[in-house]
């Protein structure tokens, strides 16, 4: 089961919208759950990008939905793709779509980009390339470039000057088959540099598409269904006044496919922009030795439950996966998260969920994956528990969790075993 989950994560990372694909003689049909943009919307998006316009991303917040501004920067060589840059404080000039025919100053000389290649291992390159898709990656690394390395030198070095500018958040975008596809979530943080130079430290986050894979017996075609979950709008007012996500999108709304969710969590951004102190509580050594974690939650019926999550650490401390096996009204399932932990933080990616069902009388593996990336502060690491931000606690033994359950300890409310209730 674990192998199937890891294989899906790699497959979703390399998926291409539309048509069928073959990997090791395994045919898969890739489709998007949602209607493509109309011709009018596609033309409007291309014109909006050419004018350097903003798209507004509707995101959940502690006090309700919030809308963020992201600037479209088209590729001079291909108007259907480019970069989407976060704009922290839009000015009145930003709020306009720009003069007619204006193209943002973004040339290949200023920011070189390699030509897409089918041999590249980058998920964004695989999706943007017009050449045949990559084969499924057999050994999926949950955190290929995560966490980022330390800055190259201390800030008080006499040969360096303080870093200037703010961190840059960006995504790669592509308009394909009538769908807006977002990949390659990245953050660049300015670091100290010699006089007259500017340097930045880049952080590339894992790109896992949100979607569902259905794989039947050998010789039967599989299906990969990508979810168009993220909501973007042409105007701030349309974003702020938008209804529920289940409502049909209006003319000012775009539903995006891909892994933009990796940049949705404010705590994950803050951790990359301002890394915690190295002497902050570090759960990595303790988590690396733990066989399992026990998560206390309050079910929808009000009863406290201890869920066991098996720990599968990687050879290097600080990385691994947590897996929960259970059964519900739909049958048995395995749910998992990838984790990255270090001084002062714990970041989870997922969940991925595996089930085996019967479709048309045949056994079929169904795997759901999410691009969600969420960071929690690590407040304390004790002999029996890890204390996280938000009043949450992970217990290192079943006995410790049961004692907390009997004592009626505080616990998050969740109807199902989930370590992050906002990501399903």
Nearest C-alpha neighbor of 234 from the set 99, 51, 111: 51
Distance CA 29, CA 7 (A): 16
Residues in a beta bridge with 171? 84
Q: Which domains does the chain have, with CATH numbers?
A: 2-273 (no CATH), 284-406 (2.40.128)
Sign of dihedral through CA atoms 382, 388, 392, 397? negative
DSSP type of residue 151: P
SS3 of 94, please?
A: helix
DSSP type of residue 15: -
SS3 of 347, please?
A: strand
- Cβ neighbors of 379 (< 8 A, separation 6 or more) are 281, 387, 388, 389
Sign of dihedral through CA atoms 274, 276, 278, 279? positive
The token pair that represents 292 in the structure block? 């399992």
Name the strand (E) or helix (H) holding 325.
Answer: strand 319-328
Distance CA 238, CA 245 (A): 13
SS3 of 389, please?
A: helix
| pLDDT tens-digit profile, the chain (424 residues) | 333 333 344 444 444 444 444 444 456 788 898 889 999 999 999 999 999 999 999 998 878 899 999 999 999 999 999 999 999 888 776 665 443 333 334 333 443 433 333 233 333 222 222 222 222 222 222 333 333 333 444 444 445 444 445 678 999 999 988 999 999 999 887 777 777 777 777 788 888 898 999 887 777 778 888 988 899 999 999 999 998 888 888 889 999 999 999 999 999 998 888 888 999 999 999 999 999 999 999 998 999 999 999 999 999 889 999 999 999 888 899 999 999 999 999 999 999 999 988 877 888 899 999 888 999 999 999 999 999 998 899 999 999 999 999 999 999 888 888 888 777 6
Nearest C-alpha neighbor of 204 from the set 221, 192, 217, 187: 187
Phi first, then psi: give them for residue 343, nearest 5 degrees: -55, 115
Q: Are 171 and 185 in contact (CB under 8 A)?
A: yes
CA dist 289 → 296, 311, 324, 421 (Å): 20, 9, 18, 26
Judged by phi (left if over 0) then psi (alpha if -120 to 50, else beta), residue 331 lies in left
Name the strand (E) or helix (H) holding 2.
Answer: helix 2-14
For residue 156, the model assigns a pLDDT of 44
CA dist 24 → 137, 270, 382 (Å): 11, 41, 47
For residue 234, the model assigns a pLDDT of 95
pTM of the full structure = 0.75
Q: Are 84 and 170 in contact (CB under 8 A)?
A: yes
Q: Where are the beta strands (DSSP E) in 104-221?
A: 168-176, 179-191, 199-204, 211-215
């Amino acid at each position: 089961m674990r192998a199937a989950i890891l294989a899906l994560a790699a497959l979703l990372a390399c998926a291409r919208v539309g048509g069928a694909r073959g990997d090791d003689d395994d045919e898969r049909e890739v489709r998007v759950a949602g209607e493509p943009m109309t011709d009018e919307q596609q033309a409007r998006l291309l014109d909006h990008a050419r004018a350097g316009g903003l798209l507004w991303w509707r995101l959940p917040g502690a006090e309700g939905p919030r809308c963020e501004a992201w600037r479209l920067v088209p590729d001079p060589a291909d108007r259907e793709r480019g970069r989407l840059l976060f704009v922290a404080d839009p000015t009145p000039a930003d709020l306009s779509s720009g003069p007619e025919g204006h193209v943002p100053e973004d040339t290949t000389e200023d920011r070189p980009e390699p030509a897409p290649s089918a041999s590249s291992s980058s998920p964004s390159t695989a999706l943007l390339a017009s050449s045949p898709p990559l084969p499924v990656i057999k050994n999926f690394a949950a955190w290929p470039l995560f966490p980022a390395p330390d800055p190259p030198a201390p800030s008080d070095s006499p040969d360096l000057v303080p870093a200037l500018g703010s961190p840059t958040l960006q995504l790669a975008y592509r308009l394909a088959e009538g769908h807006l596809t977002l990949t390659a979530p990245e953050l660049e943080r300015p670091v100290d540099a010699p006089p007259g130079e500017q340097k930045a430290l880049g952080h590339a986050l894992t790109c896992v598409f949100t979607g569902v894979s259905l794989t039947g017996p050998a010789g039967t075609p599989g299906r990969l269904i990508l979810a168009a979950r993220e909501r973007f709008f042409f105007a701030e007012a349309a974003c702020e006044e938008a209804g529920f996500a289940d409502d049909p999108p209006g003319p000012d709304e775009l539903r995006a496919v891909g892994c933009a969710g990796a940049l949705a969590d404010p705590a994950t951004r803050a951790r990359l922009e301002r890394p915690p102190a190295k002497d902050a509580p570090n759960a990595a050594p303790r988590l690396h030795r733990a066989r399992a974690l026990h998560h206390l939650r309050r079910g929808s019926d009000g009863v406290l439950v201890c869920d066991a999550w098996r720990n599968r650490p990687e050879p290097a401390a600080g990385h691994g996966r947590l897996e929960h096996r259970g059964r519900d009204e739909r049958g048995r399932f395995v749910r998992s998260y990838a984790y990255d932990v270090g001084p002062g933080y714990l970041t989870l990616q997922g969940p991925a969920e595996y089930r085996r069902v019967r479709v048309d009388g045949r056994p079929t593996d169904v795997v759901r994956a999410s691009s969600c990336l969420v960071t929690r502060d690590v407040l304390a690491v004790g002999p029996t528990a890890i204390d996280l931000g938000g009043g949450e606690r992970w217990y290192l033994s079943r006995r410790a969790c049961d004692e907390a359950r009997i004592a009626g300890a505080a616990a998050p409310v969740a109807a199902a075993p989930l370590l992050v209730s906002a990501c399903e």
